[in-house]
Amino acid sequence: MTVVLDAVIITKIFLSAAIGILVGLERSLSRNPAGTRTHALVCMGSCLFTIISLDLGSPTEFARVLPGIVTGIGFIGGGIIYQSRQGGKRGLTTAADIWSMAAVGILVGMGSYGVALVAALVILFILRPLKLLEKKLGIKTAL
């Protein structure tokens, strides 16, 4: 039984890292502050913390760990956002997608693989095709 559990955990680790790499590649290609490694580590780390909290066996533990993940990722996001020389903020979208990737990692850790994959695809749509649509329509973002 332990071998089966280990295989499930290993699958979760690799899936969360792969999803993070996929979204991170888009951010790297767009030359954004957080790229492939950051996204993979955020997604996988959130997955691991979720696995740990669920393995503790108490719903109370998961309820305590989940806000910690969200808060920790908030600090990373805050570090990504910076003031540009022109007075505007940069990195807000990247910070938001890092936050979203943490949620995807939590989903993988909980075993909700399908939802995690759909969420990752929606994130990718928001980051790439939606940005191209904004440019085509002449929508300029302040950030």
Exposed/middle/buried for residue 88 (C-beta within 10 Å: 0-12, 13-18, 19+): exposed
A 10 A CB-CB count for 52 gives 13
CA distances from 27 to 72, 73, 135 (A): 21, 17, 17
Q: What predicted TM-score, i.e. pTM, was given to this entire model?
A: 0.86
Measured between alpha carbons, how far is 24 from 78 in angstroms, rounded to an integer? 18
Query: Which pair of tokens denotes residue 33?
Result: 């502050």
| pLDDT tens for each residue of 16-44 | 999 999 999 998 888 877 889 999 999 99
How much is the mean pLDDT over the chain?
A: 87
**120-143: pLDDT as tens digits:** 999 999 998 888 888 888 887 654
Distance, CA of 92 to CA of 66 (rounded, Å): 22
Q: Where are the domains of the chain?
A: 2-137
Angle, vertex CA 101, rays to CA 97 and CA 105, nearest 5: 175
Q: Which of 55-64, 70-79, 103-112, 128-137 has the lowest mean pLDDT?
A: 55-64
Cβ partners under 8 Å of residue 100, min gap 6 = 119, 123
Q: Which residue, among 85, 135, 101, has the nearest Cα to 93 in the 3D structure? A: 101
